[in-house]
Amino acid sequence: MPSHMSIPKSDLKREALNIGLQGSGFILLSFTVLTYTDTFKTAISFLTVSFITWIYVLTLCYRRLSLNYDTETRLSFGRLGVGNRITLLRGLLIAATAGFLGSSPSSLSVFALFLPAVLYTTAAIGDALDGYVARITKQTTQLGKELDNELDALGLLIAPLLAILWDKLHVSYMSVSLAFYIFRIGIYIRKRLGLRICPLPASSFRRRLAGYQMGLVATALWAPIPAELTQPIGFLLMAPLLCRFILDWLYVSDRISDA
């Protein structure tokens, strides 16, 4: 049974550390494989960017370990749980996807060319899985909620940037990637100024919009899918998401009463 605690237990910290080491092992293994399938420059670029991104993901988690409590009962868990582990796995896959940001598709082997698509597609599927698993295992936590939001935003920053660099999405799609961070900066500024902030209510439509973006970006990363298809769809899906962010901002900043 979960028990209340104000700070993370040492075994929770050790669990996070073990996950970090296991993820680092996966990155090192992928680096080793790339040294055989591709150039050393590609492999070392992958290792550097992936590892830095993975450290960032772990930092997001570690700073929130005290939030590993039930969202309804406020009782804390001494273990991360399967749902949060899946969320961190998504973070690892996103970090590995980031490893290809410094590579040109023309310089990659067939293995490396398809790897980012496999990694991010799996991460996108995991986005639907982690919350479901948390619910059926009865360990829905504030940590999982916040980490899920952070990794959704990180994935929709890294994967679209890669798709843009590989000419599969138009550069304007970066507005989708930056919207979350601009929104959060706006909230921070309002807090500093002492202005009113209205809590944003949950929205299934908002989640669906984010899911559509993940699906588009995952599709765009697959080499056989032509840019002539992915770029127009990108414009089509970009508009409603940006409109949703504008409406959410108007609600949060107390300018409208219905989000």
Q: CATH number for the domain including 104?
A: 1.20.120
Q: What is the pLDDT of residue 3?
A: 42
Res 9: pLDDT: 61
* Residue 88 near residue 127 (C-beta atoms within 8 A): no
As a whole number of angstroms, the distance between CA 93 and CA 82 comes to: 16
* Domain presence at residue 49: yes
- Cα→Cα distances 165→34, 174, 241, 253, Å: 20, 11, 22, 35
Q: Is residue 25 part of a domain?
A: yes
DSSP structure string for the chain: -----SS--HHHHHHHHHHHHHHHHHHHHHHHHHHHHS-HHHHHHHHHHHHHHHHHHHHHHHTTGGG-BBTTT--B-SS-HHHHHHHHHHHHHHHHHHTTTT--GGGS-HHHHHHHHHHHHHHHHHHHHHHHHHHHTT--BHHHHHHHHHHHHHHHHHHHHHHHHTTSS-GGGHHHHHHHHHHHHHHHHHHHTT---PPPPP-HHHHHHHHHHHHHHHHHHSTTS-HHHHHHHHHHHHHHHHHHHHHHHHHHTTS-S--
Count of domains for the chain: 1
| Whole-angstrom distance, CA of residue 214 vs CA of residue 208 | 10
pLDDT digits (tens, 9 = 90+) for 63-77: 999 999 988 888 889
| Residue range(s) defining the domain that contains residue 28 | 10-252
Residue 204 pLDDT: 80
User: Which pLDDT belongs to residue 11?
Assistant: 82
Residue 1 lies in a domain: no
Task: Confirm whether 257 is domain-assigned.
Answer: no
On whether residue 47 sits in a domain, the answer given is yes
pLDDT in tens, 97-142: 999 999 999 999 999 999 999 999 999 999 889 888 988 998 899 9
| pLDDT on residue 205 | 83
> What is the Cα–Cα distance from 222 to 234, expressed in whole angstroms?
15
**Within a domain: residue 172?**
yes
Q: Per residue in 236-249, pLDDT tens? A: 999 999 999 999 99
User: Which pLDDT score is estimated for 1?
Assistant: 39
Residue whose tokens read 């300018």: 255
Is residue 45 one of the residues assigned to a domain?
yes
Angle between helices 10-37 and 81-98 (to 10 degrees): 30
Distance separating alpha carbons of residues 53 and 101, to the nearest angstrom: 11
160-207 pLDDT, tens digit per residue, is: 999 999 999 999 999 998 998 999 899 999 999 998 898 888 778 888
d(CA 204, CA 2): 29
Does some domain include residue 119? yes
CA 140, CA 151: separation in Å to the nearest integer?
17
Rounded Cα distance, 100 and 112, in Å: 9
